[in-house]
A and B are shown apart, each in its own frame.
Chain A
Amino acid sequence: MNQNSYDVIILGAGSVGVPTAFFLSKSGVKTLVIEERSSIGQASNKAAIGGIRATHSDPSKAWLCQRSLQIFSTWKEQYGDEIEWKKGGYVYAVYREEDKTTLNNLLIRQKAWKMNIDWLSPNDLLSVIPDLNAEGLLGGTYSPDDGHASPLLSLFASYKHAREQDCEFHFNETVTGFTKQNGKISGIQTNKDNYSASIIVNAAGAWSGELGKLAGMNIPIIPESHEAGITEPVQTFMHPMIVDIRPMGITSNFYFYQHATGQVLFCYSPEPPIHGFDRQVTSDFLPTAAKRLLELIPRLQSVRVRRTWRGLYPMTPDGSPFLGFVPEMPGMMLATGMCGQGFMLGPGVGELITAAITGSLDDVQQEILQNLSLSRSISQIEMLK
């Protein structure tokens, strides 16, 4: 057999590509991962702040993240690696009546999906987060089973085990074209070599639209720039990820948490969104983030800011990923468009893609792939991204 021949080639060694490679190689699928950068996770994974929640408003995403949560929360006992998982929960803190209504409407559906999430009164919420600003607090949702982990360590753990399972990784290699045979994808060309595989997984996140073009297809993904920051570590004083969905100034929603190792990580969604591939930090971020952080947790005023950075969200028109085979282009598998949730979706997606490739999908997984196919009718914008 040709040395450059694989069952599956994954494009992109990021939050989605690496766990997918892990599950594929675990199933005995001969897998190659091609990455343009010098190592894993150097594009958007390392820019992720680390939140993992199953409490989405879209059932497919909720199901996938439920799987991810199970994988993250048991990773250490199952595979032995420290990924800094902490079941800190998620809190949507509410200060406006309209947000209370929105979240309570969503809560009905989430509860119907048997999610562990509840509405807490201001007092109950303050017992979960004693430092939360009580002024004007109307309460909020609390989902204690959600949590957070280190994107960097999680990805490295998957990578390490994927390699142990004989998965190959080629870094510093750029895809220059796709080869097709009889209308089917049969491999790729890179700036270094040619490789053949009957299945190519596009897991290139913000860059997957460009790769799609190279293959002659249109994947409606727009990169959107998000800035994030981290503080020095301090003793643990809060556990959940806090989300504030009020728009404020140049931001729509804002979220932050204290990591298991003590640092506070924070991030907001810029409004209007900043499109494009620019990943350079701007002077707007810290003043804007400081205002939002201190409005929620005034005690953070003296914490020292350590660093800030930008990452890219691969945005789809409806806020949900594109997953699964593309009927119009046999051999092409999509695992992209995570809209900034690649880290939390990664393991769940990896498992699903593996099941699709090895032909072991169950009914729920079939349905999810249908819901998240590229050809789905993109009409319903997800309620809460």
Chain B
Amino acid sequence: MTEKNNRIQTHPILNVQRGKKVSFSWNGCSCEGYENETIASALVANGIQIFQYHHKDHSPQGLFCANGQCSQCLVLVNGFPKKACMERIGAGMQVQPLHGFYSLPEYVADNKALPILHKRTPVLIIGAGPAGLSAAIELGKQGIETLLVDDKEQPGGKLLLQTHRFFGSKEFVYAGTRGIEIAKQLSFELGRHSSIETWLNSPAVAVFSDHKVGVFKENQQYALIEPEILIVAAGARERSLRFPGNTLPGILGAGAFQTLLNRDLVIPGQTFFVVGGGNVGLIAAYHALQAGIQITGLAELLPQCGGYKVHLDKIRRLGVPIYTSHTILQAHGVEKVNAATIARVDEHYRPISGSEKTVACDGILIAAGLNPVNEFFLQAQQFGFKVFAAGDAEEIAEASAAIVSGRLTAKRVLSEIRNVPLPEQEISDLYHLKQVLSSKPGRISKQKLSPDHSGVKPVIHCTQEIPCNPCSGLCVQHLIHIPVDDILAMPDFIGPDGKCTGCSQCVIGCPGLAITLVDYRKDERFPMVTLPYELPVNKDEIVGRSLPVTEQEGHVIGVAEVVHVIQSEKMDHTSLIKLIAPVEIAERIAGIQLKKNEIRTDRRKGNESDQETMICRCERVSEKEIRALIQSGMHDMNQIKAITRAGMGACGGKTCESLILQIMREEGVAQDEIVPFSKRPLSVEVPLKIFLDHGTNKGE
């Protein structure tokens, strides 16, 4: 639920707590924000989507990554350029949109300038997400002096955006716990180890050939760190997608979307369309629904969504239309996106003419996969650092795998530092675990329903092999079984009659919301079904009503009467909805439609967009330009860069590189002919004055 100002007022999972109100101005108009929120979130909360107008073509630019990676959200704060997504709002701030280049402020003596900090450390970890935190904790346990740096205000990385309960192994990686809670636990654990020094708000800006790493400590002081061992756990960045209008304000990366919703409790629009059916897209869609945003559809290019089926089923049951074998053709809008046109694709992923559909939306969420943030790792390797990559920076996988990857890396670092052999067995076990947690979802089986309609029992709607096992530990009677050594196996209810007490712990705790309870004890013809529910639910509005119920995959199979809604603080923000349903459908029921998802679609082909497909966001270089150069025989990305400036902008090729590679492949350029961008420091732009040494200057 939101008020007019796009702020989430109540959330089924998150406690809505805001800091002190502050007023600031946007373009001369007075706005309200809260301390502790970013400028970007404060602007979005005030309904502002256009942050700047591009210097090249004056096109409107909005938030895209909300992660300090791209530079689309650059605004002027009291005359100075700042990334709105990385800077906190402050009382009295004068925030303005950029119109092309800004005028360099006049010189004013800076009295707060600090000397360059030179520091040696046995271990430096870049990134305090699941991998970096886990590595630091392992090193902390051994008393190894370690510096952990992260560009955000809180440790936890993307865990801070994950409101859902995690999958994986409950014994090893916090499965069954919500991401936000895992972040808290890891941070707490980190705090217990005195050998770990943590710098937050401290982006790593460069890796240098003289084995130093430049860090902008607390966004105030330049530090040159000389580590004996470097661990790069910088995570991943989102891929952009190519379609006309792809940079219109309102088109957000999934991470940006989750940052706004789940960290900052603001919503960027009332209706969104999702592109991408991997776990990220499916989960982000679910988070949207939890925040009260309507999802008008989800398009996936492949014939099947690549994410876990339980994630897919959760949103299907809430009425989200899933368009597999569909692609986005274009985004519509002038200053801001207002609709998406999608189309079915053939077996070569080419859009089928006549299958176009235009869906109205306030925004488009792009979840087109992730790329490792590995440039620090690659450079350090080239410079002969002792360097390791952990987590997504090494290989894109689930956060649970990143936790294991961090531990694994710490073991390697320990053996390096102490000059002792690697603990082979331990390494091999961790490696195996990481592989399991990184497993792609496996085969789907038909749901097994027992013909026995008596007593009380759980019904398991989880029909795909995925690395997940919390349910097996939830049953107080130990009636749900997943082999300890094979968490990919599907859960089995092994209860002999009469043993299940109907305690509902499995219903509450399953991360996939894929367990229901059916109780025949009162009435075998009209048993009571207990469903987990994580969206806002008003007990008084639904008890006593007969509502449509769905099976596992969201098809309505009948109606059932809501008899009770249980909400309790002990239930980890999960409501239990109890229904009376006819025996014929009771065990198949997995969802309930509290309200209908009414979607405006237009079967007509959308009107032609005059928007271009942008490849380089920073310098606004179009696909047309780049494709023409590739077709003319240019396979060296550095030459494409030299001519078009693609990759030369503020972000340094962070989003365009993989898109240019895609076009190269489409044009049939052989992999070994492609020359990638030369990677150069800095990875983020920082003010020149921080490099001025007010203390001892080595150069003197």
Task: Give A residues with C-beta under 8 Å from B.
Answer: 37-42, 46, 131, 152-153, 155-156, 171, 231-235, 237, 248-251, 262, 278, 280-284, 286-291, 293-294, 298-309
- Asked if B107 and A298 sit within 8 Å, CB to CB, the answer is yes
Tell me, yes or no, whether B643 is within 8 Å of chain A by CB: yes
Alpha-carbon distance A298/B692, docked complex (angstroms): 11
Residues of B within 8 A of A38 (CB): 635-636, 638-639, 675
- Among B634, B636, B680, B687, point to the contact of A42 (Cβ < 8 A): B636
Interface size on B, residues (CB 8 A): 48
How many whole Å from A289's CB to the nearest CB in chain B?
Answer: 7
Stretch at the interface among B13-21, B184-192, B209-217, B325-333: B209-217
DSSP class of B's interface residues: helix, strand, loop or mixed? loop
- Asked if A281 and B208 sit within 8 Å, CB to CB, the answer is yes
- Asked if A308 and B699 sit within 8 Å, CB to CB, the answer is no
Given contacts A38-B675, A233-B101, A287-B699, contact A308 B681 (CB under 8 A): yes
Given contacts A39-B639, A42-B639, A46-B638, contact A280 B383 (CB under 8 A): yes
- Asked if B688 and A304 sit within 8 Å, CB to CB, the answer is yes
- Asked if A306 and B104 sit within 8 Å, CB to CB, the answer is no
- Asked if A304 and B685 sit within 8 Å, CB to CB, the answer is yes
- Asked if B691 and A39 sit within 8 Å, CB to CB, the answer is no
Alpha-carbon distance A235/B99, docked complex (angstroms): 11
Given contacts A235-B102, A235-B104, A249-B699, contact A156 B643 (CB under 8 A): yes
Q: How many A-B residue pairs have CB under 8 A?
A: 147
- Asked if A39 and B634 sit within 8 Å, CB to CB, the answer is yes
Can you list 18 A-B contacts (CB < 8 A)? Answer: A38-B635, A39-B636, A39-B638, A152-B643, A155-B642, A156-B642, A232-B650, A232-B685, A234-B103, A249-B698, A278-B209, A280-B208, A281-B209, A286-B691, A287-B222, A294-B692, A303-B104, A304-B685
- Among B101, B105, B634, B699, point to the contact of A284 (Cβ < 8 A): B699
Tell me, yes or no, whether B116 is within 8 Å of chain A by CB: yes
- Asked if A293 and B642 sit within 8 Å, CB to CB, the answer is no
Given contacts A282-B210, A307-B652, contact A287 B105 (CB under 8 A): no
- Asked if B101 and A234 sit within 8 Å, CB to CB, the answer is yes
Residues of B within 8 A of A39 (CB): 634, 636, 638-639, 675
Residues of B within 8 A of A291 (CB): 692-693, 697, 699
Tell me, yes or no, whether B172 is within 8 Å of chain A by CB: no
- Asked if B680 and A249 sit within 8 Å, CB to CB, the answer is no
Given contacts A235-B104, A304-B686, contact A152 B691 (CB under 8 A): no
How many whole Å from A39's CB to the nearest CB in chain B?
Answer: 4
Alpha-carbon distance A152/B640, docked complex (angstroms): 10
- Among B81, B116, B206, B209, point to the contact of A287 (Cβ < 8 A): B116
Given contacts A39-B638, A235-B102, A291-B699, contact A301 B685 (CB under 8 A): no
Alpha-carbon distance A286/B110, docked complex (angstroms): 19
* Mask of B189-230 contacts with A, CB within 8 angstroms, 1/0: 000000000000000001011101010000000101000000
- Among B55, B104, B222, B700, point to the contact of A237 (Cβ < 8 A): B104
Alpha-carbon distance A4/B59, docked complex (angstroms): 50
Tell me, yes or no, whether B106 is within 8 Å of chain A by CB: yes
Residues of B within 8 A of A294 (CB): 688-689, 692
Q: Which of A37, A41, A283 has the most CB of B within 10 A?
A: A283
* Mask of B657-700 contacts with A, CB within 8 angstroms, 1/0: 00000000000000000010000111001111111110001111
- Asked if A307 and B699 sit within 8 Å, CB to CB, the answer is no
Residues of B within 8 A of A306 (CB): 650, 652, 682, 685
- Among A42, A283, A301, A302, point to the contact of B224 (Cβ < 8 A): A283
What 5 additional pairs, Cβ within 8 angstroms, besides A235-B104, A287-B692?
A39-B634, A41-B642, A171-B636, A233-B55, A309-B680
- Asked if B104 and A234 sit within 8 Å, CB to CB, the answer is yes
Report the nearest B residue to A266, measured CB to CB: B688
How many whole Å from A104's CB to the nearest CB in chain B?
Answer: 29
Tell me, yes or no, whether B80 is within 8 Å of chain A by CB: yes
B442-486 contacts to A (CB < 8 Å): none
How many whole Å from B69's CB to the nearest CB in chain A?
Answer: 15
- Asked if A284 and B210 sit within 8 Å, CB to CB, the answer is yes
- Asked if B688 and A299 sit within 8 Å, CB to CB, the answer is no
Alpha-carbon distance A378/B681, docked complex (angstroms): 39
Alpha-carbon distance A283/B105, docked complex (angstroms): 27
Residues of A within 8 A of B209 (CB): 278, 280-282
- Asked if A301 and B107 sit within 8 Å, CB to CB, the answer is yes
Report the nearest B residue to A172, measured CB to CB: B673
Residues of B within 8 A of A282 (CB): 208-210
- Asked if A288 and B639 sit within 8 Å, CB to CB, the answer is no
Report the nearest A residue to B100, measured CB to CB: A235
- Asked if A235 and B101 sit within 8 Å, CB to CB, the answer is yes
How many whole Å from A52's CB to the nearest CB in chain B?
Answer: 18
Given contacts A38-B635, A39-B636, contact A290 B106 (CB under 8 A): no
Alpha-carbon distance A249/B383, docked complex (angstroms): 25
* Mask of B401-439 contacts with A, CB within 8 angstroms, 1/0: 000000000000000000000000000000000000000
How many whole Å from B266's CB to the nearest CB in chain A?
Answer: 27
How many whole Å from B181's CB to the nearest CB in chain A?
Answer: 37
Report the nearest B residue to A301, measured CB to CB: B689
- Asked if A262 and B697 sit within 8 Å, CB to CB, the answer is no
Report the nearest B residue to A155, measured CB to CB: B642
- Asked if A302 and B689 sit within 8 Å, CB to CB, the answer is yes
Given contacts A232-B650, A304-B687, contact A290 B104 (CB under 8 A): no
Report, nearest first, the 9 A-B pairs whose CB atoms are least far apart: A249-B699, A280-B209, A290-B691, A304-B685, A152-B642, A39-B639, A301-B689, A39-B636, A38-B636
- Among B634, B680, B687, point to the contact of A307 (Cβ < 8 A): B680
